[in-house]
Structure 1
């Protein structure tokens, strides 16, 4: 105890000595002001954004104008005392708002990264690079010439014209990726080829621009060229991108996997992406690059991982669009004082700077686009998008002002250029892109993406297969293997154990038997699946209070599909399959597929079944979402096996006679059935399957389906159904029950919660 007191003496003495320097909490008035600022900025930004939407303009236009109206240009002109009180010219107060604005920049770029198709960008990489080079070189040359010719009274120090000219050249070269991204999102163009190329070119443009800025800033600080600074900036950017898209991709994916496996949930998925993105932003900032680059790259890497939750991405996008992005865009406009630009000389040269900025960027991006193989209108669209400078140029102007390169007069001009070019971008993009003819390849890609977004089978990325051996789960594993060859999925094979201990006398022997059974069951499933080399397979042996609880606990870790083997030949009363399967189907948080093989099951050992040859797959349909899911599953399996998908709809004759009592005709009902079948068949053909449709008639749909299956020698029946609860047991309906129990071939039933 005495030793502890002696150790604490120096610490306490140091704290006492530093007592006067303790950091005070945020003051009452400062907190009040920032809350009022945020509420006012958000109110005006969202209000004007919705107004712009109503008049068919992107909301970002209104969000940018909000800051201008709340700044000295209007609010400060009408109520100068109130405006100065709410938005005081205090560095400390301004910094509070700047932090939130920077969060808006970073969040917007994370969301943009999540939406970025890296494969498409790589395919268009040459074009993007040419556009970026054109959008850097020509504006840099014209900006340098402009800086060399401007009158001395626009320079903070006329003796440093070279540095001033280089700074103006750099400011003319910058593009505002957050503004471009927001405009593309507002116009629903971010998934278009032109949208992805614009983003790629904009990020390349910005990366080069920020390297140039770091070089020019170093020059402004030291007064001489520093080759070390140039080498450091270039090498840091190349090194970061190289590491990020090689080992960084694997690291991010493994982190997301670990969090998904051991924590799970949308909140965890969203939190880990934000942590990684902010850390990457801090890293690029520490390297002397732009923090936005790190956030954007991490967004891309997270978006490529199968384990990142789509729901988390959607929540992040909603939060950004509704709060952080409007605050960022509105706060950018607060710094603009249009009144200072009304001085004749300032206005004249301000217009000249604006014209040079627009012409240089438009010309450079257009020429780069044409050399890269884009059309005339696509080139103009690229120029329109790349011309937006946004808050990035405001940051450049702020840096220039703090370094003594720009005077207040020139600072106002550059900020005006940033705002005006950002306001020009949306209407120009809308106009030019309306003239762009979409290629057949792009139209097919977008149509396919739209279909995939609504597809049941395309949303399946993680599959859980609980196993204890037997023909049912082995056949189920074969079906999963066919799926894996058509869609990129992850598979987890689980052997569940109950914690109920055997009698003491035979405990050790029983445990050894369990371990052997688990190994055999897991190995059997892995062998039956015959997964592609690039498919991830995990095997687990977990224990809990009951086997069903173990399976359900694992299923809650963001799986998309649970694949189960059905009951043994003898099943307990009041169950559809058995107590275990029924409970899992009933409580599953995701879709389930239960497979009943109708093959003999040996007792006491794993009885390996032969690879089942599938030539005909039958799918009964009534046009529901459940039936569509069954069609998609059957078509995916058929695309791999070459089987024929036979989609049938049964017209129930007694019901038809009752409904059509006046007409006494089946023609209208047959026409409805035909249209329904064609819609379902189109889904199957789109997935690469050979599909035929059949209309059956009879008083018992299940009997007609079973008769048709036997006559046509069907190898597999896939049913889509909803779960109904009848006296505590799982019930799919009498027809599904009848087909499950009386079919001569394997049956799979797919349900969704």
Structure 2
């Protein structure tokens, strides 16, 4: 103990000498003020935002006005002492609010990135690029000219007019995708062709705008204009974007995949995206670029990953929209002094800036749209949408003020431009888009998208295939492979082990046998699937208290479908398949598909079966949601294999004593059956399948289906059913049970959640 004291004496002496430089905790008054500021800003911002929503205006406008009203324009005018006490002109107090405002900027850009659809941009690439270039080049030129001609009183530093002009040019070029998207959603136009082109152009515009902003910010930070600074900024931006959209995309996807597999849950998904985004923001800031660019790009990469939880994205969006974004917009509005804008010179030049901003963006977007092949009214609609500045303009203005490029007077003008252009967008879009006529091709696409939005098969993105070998699961794997070729899915092959320990002497041998069996079963199933190179395949061997628990635990990691093979062995009398399969089907958190091959059991547990040639797939239907799911699965398989899908409906003939009465009402029953079959056939044809329909009659539907399947030489029967619980076993109904057990060909039973 004495030796320890002697060792610590030099350390304690050093700390005592440095005692005067210890960092003090946040003072009581400073903390009180920041809490009052946050609560007041949030209350007024959210209140005015909701009011704007009620009158069909973007909420961001109300949130901006909240800060304006709480600043010197109104609150400061009516109660100057109280306003100065709550929002003092203190650097330390301002820094506290600035930190939270900057978090709002970064979170807003992360959410915008999550909602950015790169496929949409690529699909509408040529038109969107032309519109975006027109919407950037023309406003950039007019904005640069405006910055060059403005009086010195509007410049923070007249010696840096070139950098100032470049900053004004960038501010004039930017568009606000969140405002545009919100207006299109409110008008129910977001999936229209014009809506998609507007979004794609806006996203491209924003991406180019952030690169421009990063370059100009780099120039502003260096305090001089030279080609070395420009080269550094441009090369850093190109390097970052190049790494992000090549190696970075895979790294982000792998990290999200690992977190989803080994941690799981919405909180973990949300946390890892925030860590990556803030790290990327720090990285771009260290490169001399704008921190917002890093957050925006990481948001895009996370949004493209299939493993990023949509619930986590929704929570992040809600948190940002309800807290951080309103605080940021309101805090930005605090710096605006409308009284200063009423000064004749400022008012005149403010209106000039607004006019240049609107004319430049409208002209550029219109010309780009016309060159891109859009009509007159579509081009005007593009100009109306792209003219909205909203949130992005405020971010640019905030950055300009923090870098000392903008003075308070010019900052107020740019915020005013953001508010006015955002207010103009909804009314102009409503008017111009009402003149745009929908074409036949667009109508067909929208109808197909509407069907896909309700589709069972299109909602399947992750498939779990537990395996222990055998003909049933091998055939099931073949069916999964066919589905994976039609839809972009991620497949996981799982070999489940039980932790029940064998006797000590046999433990080593048992482990070796298990390892060999797992390798053979997984290799066999993955080979049967014959997945394309762009399909993600994971192979897992997991152990737990029981095999069923292992499968169910894995299934709880956001899978959409579990594909099982029926038991290869003699099943217990009280089970439909076997105890393991029955339990998984009963407790599954998602849809299941159980396949019974009715093929001869090959010698050896995992001996390969032949690739089954599917030419005729039979789907009995009664018009339920479960039957529709079966039609979708069968049609997806048929679209890849070229098989014909035959959909049948059985009219149950009445008992002998009711024949005379029922004969009069059989015709309407047939009409109902025909309508039902036509609806189901349309679903199959939309998925690319060749579909036939038949109406069968008989007193025993299951016998008629089995007889029809044999006469038509069906290669596969796909059934849709709900799960009914009978004495602890899976029960799909007597008809499904009968077809499962007596069919001469393979049977797949689909259950929905």
Q: Same fold (TM over 0.5)?
A: yes
Partner-residue secondary structure (3-state), 1:116: coil
Tell me which moved more, 415-424 or 81-90.
81-90
- The Cα of 1:516 is off from its aligned counterpart by 2.7
Call closer, same or farther: CA 1:612–1:3 in 2, change over 3 Å.
Answer: farther
In the other structure, the counterpart of 2:609 is: 609
Q: 1:576 to 1:307 in 2, by over 3 A?
A: same
CA deviation vs aligned residue, 1:554-595 (integer Å, no higher than 9, x gap): 222222211111123521121111111111111222211111
Alpha-carbon contact 2:170-2:209 (below 8 Å) kept: yes
Pairing 1:306-317 to 2, within 5 Å after superposition: 306-317=306-317
User: In the TM superposition, what is the alpha-carbon distance from 1:239 to its structure 2 partner?
Assistant: 0.9
- 1:210-249 deviation digits (Å, cap 9, x = unpaired): 5555665666666642322111111111111111111111
Q: CA deviation at 1:655?
A: 9.6
Instruction: Decide whether the 8 Å contact of 1:471 with 1:609 is kept in 2.
Output: yes
Residue by residue over 1:588-613, the C-alpha shift from the partner in whole angstroms, topping out at 9 and shown as x without a partner, is 22211111112222465434322222
Indicate how the Cα distance of structure 1 residues 427 and 6 shifts in structure 2: closer, same or farther if over 3 A, else same.
farther
Stretch deviating more after TM superposition (555-564 or 121-130): 121-130
Deviation at 1:688, TM superposition (A): 0.7
Q: Could you tell me how far apart the structure 2 residues matched to 1:406 and 1:582 are?
A: 69
Contact 2:36/2:86 (8 A) holds in 1:
yes
Q: Give the 3 Å change call, closer, same or farther, for CA 60–700 of structure 1 in structure 2.
A: farther
Contact 1:366–1:380 (8 Å) recurs in 2 = yes
Q: 1:415 to 1:672 in 2, by over 3 A?
A: same
The answer (yes or no) to whether the contact 2:60–2:391 under 8 Å persists in 1 is no
Tell me the distance in 2 between the aligned counterparts of 1:572 and 1:404: 79
Residue-by-residue CA offset, 1:513-537 (whole Å, 9 max, x unaligned): 3333222222221222222232232
1:188 offset after TM fit, Å?
A: 5.0
Assess, with a 3 A threshold, how the Cα gap between structure 1 residues 235 and 654 changes in structure 2: closer, same or farther: same
8 Å Cα contact 2:335-2:408 kept in structure 1: no
Distance 1:698 1:388 in 2: 65
Q: CA deviation at 1:512?
A: 3.0
Shift of 1:678: 2.0
Indicate how the Cα distance of structure 1 residues 180 and 35 shifts in structure 2: closer, same or farther if over 3 A, else same. Answer: farther
Matched residue, 1:154: 154
Matches within 5 A, 1:151-190: 151-156=151-156, 161-162=161-162, 164-187=164-187, 189-190=189-190
Q: State the Cα distance separating 1:733 from its structure 2 match.
A: 1.9
What's the CA shift for 1:748?
1.0
What does 1:418-437 correspond to in 2, within 5 Å?
A: 418-437=418-437
Indicate conservation of the 8 Å contact 1:335/1:415, yes or no: no
For structure 1, the 5+ residue unaligned runs are: none
Aligned to 1:545: 545
Between the aligned partners of 2:608 and 2:26, the Cα distance in structure 1 is: 70
Q: Aligned partners of 2:485, 2:563: CA distance in 1, in Å?
A: 17
Cα distance, 1:656 vs structure 2 = 13
SS in 1 for 2:661: coil
Q: Secondary structure at the match of 1:306?
A: coil
Say which is worse superposed, 725-734 or 20-29, in terms of deviation: 20-29
Contact 1:175 1:389 in 2 (8 A): yes
1:477–1:172: structure 2 CA closer, same or farther, 3 Å change rule?
A: closer
Aligned-residue offset at 1:489: 1.8
Range 430-439 or range 612-621, more displaced: 430-439
C-alpha contact 2:198 2:386 (8 A) present in aligned 1: yes
Indicate conservation of the 8 Å contact 1:596/1:746, yes or no: yes
Change (3 A) 1:710 1:167: closer
Alpha-carbon shift at residue 549 of structure 1 (Å) = 1.8
Change (3 A) 1:217 1:602: closer
Task: State the partner residue of 1:620.
Answer: 620
**Residues 80 and 725 of structure 1: is their aligned pair in 2 closer, same or farther, counting only changes over 3 Å?**
farther
Residues 330-384 of structure 1 show CA distances to partners (whole Å, capped at 9, x for unaligned) of: 4433332222222223222221222122212222232233333333333333333
Q: Structure 1 208/455 Cα, relative in aligned 2: closer, same or farther at 3 Å?
A: closer
CA offsets, 1:17-67, max 9 Å, x none?
A: 343443344444444444444444444444444444444444444344443
Range that drifts further, 310-319 or 273-282: 310-319
* Cα contact 1:617–1:643 (8 A) shared by 2: yes
- Partners in 1 of 2:70 and 2:661 — Cα distance? 70
Identify if the C-alpha distance between structure 1 residues 605 and 17 changes in structure 2 by more than 3 Å, giving closer, same or farther.
Answer: same
Q: Report the alpha carbon displacement of residue 11 of structure 1 after superposing the two structures with TM.
A: 4.3
Q: Tell me, in whole angstroms, the C-alpha distance in 2 between the residues paired with 1:727 and 1:503.
A: 34
C-alpha contact 1:635 1:688 (8 A) present in aligned 2: yes
* Residues 1:27 and 1:467: Cα distance change in structure 2 (over 3 Å): same
Q: Secondary structure at the match of 1:662?
A: helix
Number of the residue aligned with 1:252: 252
C-alpha contact (below 8 Å) 2:121/2:201 kept by paired residues: no
CA deviation string 1:380-418 (max 9, x = no partner): 333333333335444544555556554443333233223
The change in CA–CA distance for 1:64 and 1:694 in structure 2 (over 3 A counts) is farther
| CA 656–351 in structure 1, closer or farther in 2 if over 3 Å, else same | farther
Instruction: Quote the Cα distance in structure 1 between the aligned partners of 2:397 and 2:309.
Output: 38
| SS of structure 2 residue aligned to 1:381 | helix
Say yes or no: does 1:202 pair with 2:183.
Answer: no
Structure 2: which 5+ runs fail to align? none
Change over 3 Å in CA distance of 1:213–1:538 after alignment to 2: closer
Q: Which moved more, 1:389-398 or 1:653-662?
A: 653-662
Q: Given that residues 491 and 536 in structure 2 are in contact (C-alpha distance below 8 angstroms), is that contact kept between their aligned partners in structure 1?
A: yes
- Deviation for aligned residue 1:491: 1.9
Residue matched to 1:522: 522
Name the counterpart of 2:502. 502
Given the superposition, is the C-alpha separation of residues 713 and 194 from structure 1 closer, same or farther in structure 2, using an over 3 Å criterion? Answer: same
Q: In structure 1, what is the Cα distance between the partners aligned to 2:56 and 2:656?
A: 49
Structure 1's 622 and 100: CA in aligned 2 closer, same or farther, altered over 3 A?
farther
> Residues 655-688 of structure 1: CA distance to partner in whole angstroms, max 9, x if unpaired?
9999997995133333333322222221111111
TM-superposition CA deviations, 1:180-211 (whole Å, max 9, x none): 45445555555555455445544554555555
Contact 2:116/2:203 (<8 A) preserved: no
Kindly state the Cα deviation for residue 449 of structure 1 after the two structures are TM-superposed.
3.6
SS in structure 2 at match of 1:609? coil
Counterparts of 1:4 and 1:446 in 2: how far apart (Å)? 77
Work out whether residues 561 and 590 of structure 1, in 8 Å CA contact, stay in contact via their aligned partners in 2.
yes
Alignment RMSD (CA, Å): 3.2
- The answer on whether the counterparts of 2:214 and 2:293 sit within 8 Å (CA) in structure 1 is no
Q: Give the distance between the partners of 1:249 and 1:656, measured in 2 at CA.
A: 68
State the 1:634 CA deviation: 0.8
Partner of 1:407: 407
CA distance change for structure 1 residues 311 and 151 in 2, over 3 Å: closer, same or farther? closer
2 CA distance for matches of 1:405 and 1:510? Answer: 73
Deviates more, 1:630-639 or 1:536-545: 536-545
| Cα distance in 2 between the residues matched to 1:3 and 1:447 | 82
SS at match of 1:14: helix
Residue of structure 1 equivalent to 2:556: 556
Shift of the 596–154 alpha-carbon distance from structure 1 to 2, 3 Å rule, reads closer
Alignment check: 8 A CA contact 2:38 2:327 kept: yes
SS in 2 for 1:661: helix
Moved more, 444-453 or 255-264: 444-453
Go from structure 1 to structure 2 and tell me whether the alpha carbon gap of 1:268 and 1:401 turns closer, same or farther (over 3 Å shift): closer
CA distance in 2, matches of 1:94, 1:179: 28
**Does 2:457 align with 1:457?**
yes
Whether the 8 Å contact between 1:139 and 1:357 is mirrored in structure 2 is yes
2:571 is paired with a residue of what secondary structure? coil
| Equivalent pair of 1:60/1:182 in contact (CA under 8 Å) | no
Residue 654 of structure 2 contacts residue 662 of structure 2 at CA under 8 Å; is this kept in 1?
no
Q: For the Cα contact (< 8 Å) 1:332–1:391, is it kept in 2?
A: no
Give the deviation of 1:6 after TM superposition.
Answer: 6.2
Residues 751, 359 of structure 1: alpha-carbon distance in 2 compared, 3 angstrom cutoff:
same
Is the 8 Å Cα contact of residues 100 and 328 (structure 1) preserved in structure 2? yes
Q: Post-superposition shift, 1:165?
A: 4.1
2-structure distance, mates of 1:229, 1:208: 18
The match for 1:393 is 393
C-alpha spacing 1:5/1:423, structure 2 compared with 1 (3 Å):
farther
Structure 1 distance, partners of 2:384, 2:241, is 27
Q: Distance in 2 between matches of 1:153 and 1:606?
A: 83
Question: What is the CA-CA distance between 1:156 and the residue it aligns to?
Answer: 4.8
Q: Secondary structure at the match of 2:541?
A: strand
